[in-house]
Homo-oligomer: A and B are copies of this chain.
Amino acid sequence: MTPDQIAELDRADPLASFRDRFDLPDGVIYLDGNSLGALPKATAARVQSVVREQWGTDLIRSWNSHDWIGAPRRLGDKIARLIGAGAGEVICADSTSINVFKALSACLQLAPERSTILSETGNFPTDAYMMEGLSKLTDGHVQQKLVASDAIADHLDDNVAALLLTHTHYKTGRLHDMSALTAAAHEAGIPVIWDLSHSAGAMPVDLNACGADFAVGCGYKYLNGGPGAPAFLFAAKRHHDKVFPALSGWLGHKAPFAFSDHYEAGHGIDRFQCGTPGILGMAALEVGLDLMLHADMQAIRSKSQALGDLFIERVEARCPQFELVSPRDCTGRGSQVSIAHKEGYAIMQALIDRGVIGDFRAPDILRFGFTPLYTRFRDAADAVDILADIMAQDSWTAPQYAVRGAVT
């Protein structure tokens, strides 16, 4: 594709105007929005107003007057619209890991005679780790089982209390068939928990159309909520009343301000709240959500696929040293492209030095995320040109690129 053709893609992009709503540093091609979304321009002023006016001036009264107390539900309802959930089915709270724990323990209550929680090997590890902690806590009564991705269907037996899967694989970008796997699990009476960390905001998701039971996800990737933004939990309405939350904190109580000695689970999704919400994080995330709700999710998906296809085509044409790790077929791929090279770490450092920010995942994966609200076609093309240049010049062999930092 010629530079003119690429420029034409950007001109024709129906989402092009969204880029202007983000603060992006000069000289950087940011392809890591799947790890930390970029800063919306409106966020700084909103956070400042929450700090100065709401906290500083209105102080404790803001719990009512600025509806801080309603933030987990209000943001949850906004997230619901992005993932095919209904109002009152999503709560914005805690971290993804904590929400995995809530969902797993809820499933164990739905099927108390079952004791296996099933997931796949090679998944983003916090899902498996939370299963391990739960297993220990129940003295091994609950057992986790990790099987290869393509063997899941063979393990949907009548001892499985929950199937926990990540919709878009964090490393490869491979998509699971949410509808088919949920249906297969339901046939065996198994509730399904979908981790949407790399899907929410990146593509249409329709939890209720799939009949999903629970879902969790992350606020700081495609939702652009800022570093460590609050996460979310979806619970299908039909399950709400059946669950006594394992993390039964005071804000999930039916009447938190009655301060009674005994817990009574709150109405509907409210019971999945636990402690006091972090209001600064909520404020930043709400800006990201409001921005995303103005975009057409189908347009996001189409552009994301086209960006990925362009990137793959150019890498294969110009950088034959890399192996494609992500699915080539864009219908089975999330909004990222991963390529492998045994010197991946050093190559990614060299890229970052040249202003192309992706990330590295051990042992050999270079990961590039495409965030259609601010990634242009020329960014995807230029990134490959810079990568090709680095490979041609062997500039990644400079000694400083070999030293690994704490976070990569």
Contact = CB atoms under 8 A, between A and B. Distances in A.
Interface string A115-150: 000000111111011101110111101000010000
A239 to B, nearest CB: 16
Most B CB atoms within 10 A — which of A23, A60, A64? A60
Contact of A228 (B60, B129, B278): B278
A280 to B, nearest CB: 4
Nearest to A34: B60
A59 interface: yes
A155 interface: no
Given A133-B247, A247-B130, A63 B407 contact: yes
Q: Closest 7 interchain pairs by CB?
A: A95-B275, A97-B249, A133-B248, A97-B275, A227-B279, A126-B250, A39-B56
Contacts of A286: none
A244 interface: yes
A225 to B, nearest CB: 10
Contact of A275 (B141, B231, B352): B231
Nearest to A50: B227
A209 interface: no
B261 A121 contact: yes
Contacts of A226: 51, 55, 279-280
A278 to B, nearest CB: 4
Interface string A71-99: 00000000000000000000000111110
Given A101-B247, A129-B263, A32 B47 contact: no
Interface in A212-265: 220, 226-231, 244-253, 257-263
A406 interface: yes
This chain: copies in complex? 2
Contacts of A95: 94, 249, 274-276
Given A257-B408, A261-B146, A136 B362 contact: no
A278 B25 contact: no
Nearest to A100: B249
Most B CB atoms within 10 A — which of A43, A123, A249? A249
Most B CB atoms within 10 A — which of A139, A226, A252, A362? A226
A159 interface: no
A194 interface: no
Contacts of A96: 275-276
A36 B65 CA distance: 15
A68 B249 contact: no
A57 interface: yes
A380 to B, nearest CB: 18
Contact of A281 (B54, B62, B94, B278): B278
